[in-house]
Structure 1
């Protein structure tokens, strides 16, 4: 019997100060040996060979039936940045993409995939654990794949001897197991049974992909500590102790996650947070030119996508580019083509039709009608969407009437929509290729469930016995379903029904109903008053919802083909009359939407252009805070802002402090109370404010003391501070001047 694998080294501390850096800035164990034994070299070669076979191809569609292409032939570099923290983000992921699309790239710190364990210039601390976050489909898993392939081919990170990729979707299949770390690796990497590893000899990297898909109980507050690798424990305890550094403190850890789950790992366990931002503008075009051989057709597709703001924003997501390429390449190549998709609903409905038709070109056994298959997949999509799940297991399929033995047939029927994977643990894992595909199918299910069966998916009540006896059925209308869906989406804390709502409303249009008839032979019909839905959405906008929640409602109006509010606001903006008009609550929300969805980067925000005789500065500032939050430079000079407006401003900036670089508040009635609030903001370690101008703001020694205290407690990034023409005495100014000569502080200019 082979002796269990051994990992030796310190297991009692996660202090990285005892580790050293190699010449390339990568992390090494203190006693790293550069000369591996012949057996060790053979093991490493076997590991590289196995991983290269597993990861060298990128499959478009499911692995068994999709066409494999070498990753390095079609890989388009992704835009990755160093992020401030792994804090949770409760906005819908499409909303996050919209926000990111307007950020000026010059303000970010880009980092290449292969450099994630290498400190940037000026950083001297070793990096053991990296958390990479990004929305679904943005390219996290492909980044992992690229890292592994380049390592296995001997191109990058050759100081790492072994890489163990352990996706959470596969680890989930072992959640009820009790075993030690060696046994866990033996299950996923059989070649490790023939090797003995010491942390002094091997530098290993564990990659835990898809933290958001984790179904383990990760309780990092547990006092159970594992320091011995031969000690058996539950799989979740093994993972937690690896991440915390109790087990194998010399090992590197890479975790990927969607933003909503990023805080499952405590920040003190993470040494670097990176964010995959998908494709930037040049990378979008590069993708389509690589994907589509006919360059003239590629140009036409790029031009069409740029003509629709909602589609162009989504192209930051690589998977959406793939969907768009499939749909538009087929439609624009046809001699007789229908209406080219201009909305998300049209694009995804065309995609569903194309992928379902692939079934007819293959020799799959016809065990189920298309309509039944789509309804079952739709039911699964809806139920799991309500639970917030992206991946499913056999019990989830059975709960929706899907025979697990026919799961591969279902995968074939919708080749690139529903994917079956056989994990290394030989358990079956199922998922939709993209969260938005799941949301579209869920909306389609809700629509068909009502039109064909007169049932509202949100209605949990059962028909009463009395009504059954009288053979009476409650009539459900599409308007009722839509109003209920609007309410449910608005009540969601993380916006997880936002895109589902947009799809559901879009499917009700006659143009999309015509498309559905190509997909389903039986589509029920019912009277639908589109104007009623439009008015209900506008009513919700008038109810002074938070601007963030209103934004999705404007997207819904766009799906319904109503842009009256937006056109009105755009006319005011173009004419320069916006400051002289008394805007209604709906118009203020429309103004926020127009500003936040414009193609212009949110660089400089000037409040003066929106203030008129009918509104105070504080009122306007409060209405436009979502725009302020996304701006790098905020110009509020001589606007009439008071300490009340300053309180709202600092509260908003505290929720998103890393964006703001310049704040101009000169000639406002801010006073000491407002300055104290700004001082609190400066103490936030994520605040990157570089220039603060408070000329003639009524600041006294009390406010100056608060600023000095804030800068002392957190050196921050503040470089220039203007306090001229305030009621300050020399001793107050001297305290601030002392900071300028202290090398620990960045303050270089004081007025």
Structure 2
């Protein structure tokens, strides 16, 4: 996946207390391999052997079961990824799938695109060296494959040849050494025996350390508490080694590349990071490119692409490369063999077929020990659920043993629980397990919870059961005579998901509800000893609709509508679609749940949200009703490029909510009209949005808004700090005094400011400003 990156924001110099940067050129000076200093210089023989070992390790891409004997050459299937720069410390509280669904709507035409191989190279106009790069992205989006391609290109002498050595140190493997005491040199000797012939402790080499999977780290990472370490030969804990290496106390000339899921990106202090990038996955053309590379039969590839496009939720998920692989695995078999049964149209259907396909692959292998699919799936499901609740995505042998899983048994189910055993090239030997993607873990967790209820009448969310599961002892006597209905389980799961601050149970909930529909009972009949009643889902649907009516979070409502979709209920959505198509939406008085449905329909439609006009949704101007509609539609406003809110009686409360929404996605908005709203001094809140370096607002209308001198000063100060984009500003009809007039006049003489049209005070017009 050749990576594109958008980096247009210059990060400030890190604090000296955190990074000891060298002022000389040692950071970028290549080693002269022909010099006679055999004590410090790398020999061609050692370097070639090092490159060769890395090439062997990273030249193949292992997708799920491929590591069982059918690996794919990375260069053959590699598809370009889209990477953009992001602000450090920006932690989303949405489930990662919701982040993908949101990002899928955002255009990227304004982004500065660079290849992943260029992430350490300053852009034109950037004079500060880039030592540490943090690349974040949701699970399965392509971070590790980007790292793999970067290393392979270096090993094949195609890119970044100014770097002498690259040391890939995945956190999942470093975890296995967390209790060791050793020096940095010793650590490298364990993973890379060739380094015994090198003096890595010297700043002679330009080296790159790649720490992949920060979210998988089980070290404390005490950046503030750990001792300062500058000697690469001094023995200490692995945690001290890593923090000092990242901070820059140890080998300050070394380059550092860290990858992480967004939820863990703030584990590294922002002042230690010079550039933050975000992997956004595949755009629409790249999705099609992947399937045409992955599926050799081009006619079948086109059929698969057409089917995925017919389901909006599935096609959006294809932004995630791993989901493309899952879809290709399922659909290639189902469509090519003309199997009976419904072709998957929902996420739950896709993952259930994927599960069945992987268990069928197991039967094709020679395996002596008799272990049933049902037993293994339940054990893996228990592991998936327990670790999901804990927030873990990687597991070790002790985690498997706690769920009664034999390590050898688990390795047979490679499509579900991948065993990663590093033994070649002298890397640290240890077994690390993970599901091929977080969503697979969530599906298995949901299946375990569903079957526990259907087969054993257990609600895993009950306090007694939760405590018993945690202690590995279930009080069967207490549970024996307790009947648990599926609707009761569903309602409890809905409540648990709504209470989650980071939405980590959102997709799990979709899967859990989807598993209860009739089509899944047929698919999973060999796993179930009983079937659920049809009225259970009816009760669940009504409960979800009740929650949609009363919850205040638009984002939570969106996930509940996805849940209704999994249950096959689209009544609210279809009703709203009719209102929108007929243009009658502003003529009817919608309920709270209907407004939530409006948000869901608009955010999941294929049409881009180019313009939001409050008048399209509110008929007769009503102050209370307008504020209510505005707050309900904030997620839509946040994703619109042009927002028209003129003369809509915007209150201070409404304005605060609006600016909060705009702050969460400042790079998307291009036009904003607030004319005729008495926002007064609340314009200061808008100033916070405008001075964000990612803000790309081009047109701002604030006529007759009650802006005073103080507000004008704050506004122009914000604009001066971010002068790149605004082209048109309307402040006419505001009583601006001397100080405000002076600030506006100064804009005319600022050579850096790009403003072309300015209206201020009543009937005064200035154009062609420089």
Which residue in the other structure is 2:705 paired with? 697
DSSP-derived class of the 2:668 partner: coil
| Number of the residue aligned with 1:444 | 447
**Alpha-carbon distance, 1:272 to partner:** 0.8
Q: How many residues align?
A: 725
Q: Would you say the 8 A contact 1:669–1:697 is kept in 2?
A: yes
Q: Is the 8 A contact 1:206 1:252 kept in 2?
A: yes
- 1:178–1:233 contact (8 Å) kept in structure 2: yes
CA distance in 1, matches of 2:191, 2:437: 26
Verify: 1:391 aligned to 2:428, yes or no: no
Q: 1:469 to 1:248 in 2, by over 3 A?
A: closer
1:222–1:658 Cα change, 3 Å: farther
1:471 and 1:345 mapped to 2: Cα distance? 29
1:463-488 deviation line (CA, Å, top 9, x unaligned): 99xx9989961110111111111011
Matching of residue 77 in structure 1 with residue 84 in structure 2: no
Aligned to 2:747: 739
Residue 77 of structure 1: how far off its partner (Å): 1.1
1:379 shift after superposition: 0.4
Match of 1:680 in 2: 688
Matched residues in 2 for 1:727 and 1:476: separation? 67
Aligned with 1:276: secondary structure? strand
* 1:544 paired residue number: 551
**Does the 8 A contact of 2:385 with 2:442 survive in 1?**
yes
Of the candidates 49, 53, 56, which is equivalent to residue 50 of structure 1? 53
After superposition, give the CA deviation of every residue in 1:385-430 in whole Å (9 maximum; x if it has no partner). 0001000011101110113xxx233221x23111111133111101
- Structure 2 equivalent of residue 29 of structure 1: 27
Does residue 653 of structure 2 align to residue 644 of structure 1? yes
Aligned pair in 2 of structure 1 residues 725, 139: CA closer, same or farther (>3 Å)? same
SS in 1 for 2:61: strand
Separation in 2, partners of 1:389, 1:306:
32
User: What are the superposed Cα offsets for residues 31-90 of structure 1, whole Å, 9 maximum, x if unpaired?
Assistant: 544445474332221211110010001112256414111110111111112223342112
The CA deviation at 1:644 is 3.5
Per-residue deviation, 1:198:
6.0
**Would you say the 8 A contact 2:213–2:258 is kept in 1?**
yes
> Do the aligned partners of 2:21 and 2:248 also contact (CA within 8 Å) in 1?
no
> Do structure 1's residue 527 and structure 2's residue 533 form an aligned pair?
yes
Q: Which residue of 1 aligns with 2:631?
A: 622
Partner of 2:318: 315
- Are residues 1:661 and 2:670 paired? yes
| Within-5 A mapping of 1:426-445 | 426-445=429-448
8 A Cα contact 2:728 2:755, kept in partner:
yes
2:285 & 2:585 partners in 1: Cα distance?
34
CA shift for structure 1 position 710: 3.5
Matched residue, 1:116: 119
Aligned pair partner of 1:193 in 186, 193, 196: 196
Please say if residues 62 and 420 of structure 1, whose CA atoms lie closer than 8 Å, have aligned partners that are also in contact.
Answer: no
Aligned to 2:522: 514
Is the alpha carbon distance of 1:258 and 1:304 closer, same or farther for their aligned partners in structure 2, counting shifts above 3 Å?
A: same
Quick one: distance in 1 between partners of 2:678 and 2:204?
65
Secondary structure of 2:303 counterpart: helix
CA distance in 1, matches of 2:478, 2:121: 73
Tell me the equivalent position of 2:205: 202
Q: Alpha-carbon deviations, 1:110-130, whole Å to 9, x = none?
A: 332111111223333221111
Contact 2:681 2:708 (8 Å CA) reproduced: no
Q: What is the alpha-carbon distance in structure 2 between the residues aligned to residue 356 and residue 19 of structure 1?
A: 58
Of 488-497 and 112-121, deviating more is: 112-121
Correspondence for 2:495 among 487, 492, 497: 487
Residues 1:605 and 2:632 aligned together: no
| CA positional deviation for 1:629 | 1.6
Aligned residues of 2:638 and 2:661 also touching (Cα < 8 A): yes
Deviation at 1:598, TM superposition (A): 1.3
Secondary structure at the counterpart of residue 464 of structure 2 = coil
CA separation of 1:511/1:745 partners in 2, compared to 1, >3 Å: closer, same or farther? Answer: same
2: CA distance, partners of 1:473 / 1:711? 68
Displacement of 1:144 in angstroms is: 0.3
1:352-501 → structure 2 map (5 Å cutoff): 352-403=355-406, 407-412=407-412, 414-423=413-422, 424-461=427-464, 473-501=481-509
Q: How far, CA to CA, are the matches of 1:601 and 1:121 in structure 2? A: 32
The Cα of 1:657 is off from its aligned counterpart by 2.8
SS at match of 2:586: helix
* Deviation of the 1:711 alpha carbon: 4.0
Q: Does the 8 Å CA contact 1:408/1:420 hold for their aligned counterparts?
A: no
CA contact (8 A) 2:702 2:731 kept: yes
Partner of 1:577: 584
1:79 counterpart SS class: strand
Return the TM-score normalized by structure 1: 0.92
1:108 partner SS: coil
Q: Tell me which moved more, 676-685 or 155-164.
A: 676-685
Corresponding residue for 1:18?
A: 23
The CA deviation at 1:605 is: 1.9
Any idea what SS the aligned residue of 2:418 has?
strand
Question: What is aligned with 1:589?
Answer: 596
Structure 2 unaligned residues grouped into runs of 5+: 1-15, 36-40, 469-474, 760-770
Per-residue CA deviations over 1:351-387 (Å, capped at 9, x if unaligned) read: 1111100111111123311111111001000000000
Report the counterpart of residue 503 of structure 1 in structure 2. Answer: 511
**1: CA distance, partners of 2:32 / 2:725:** 41
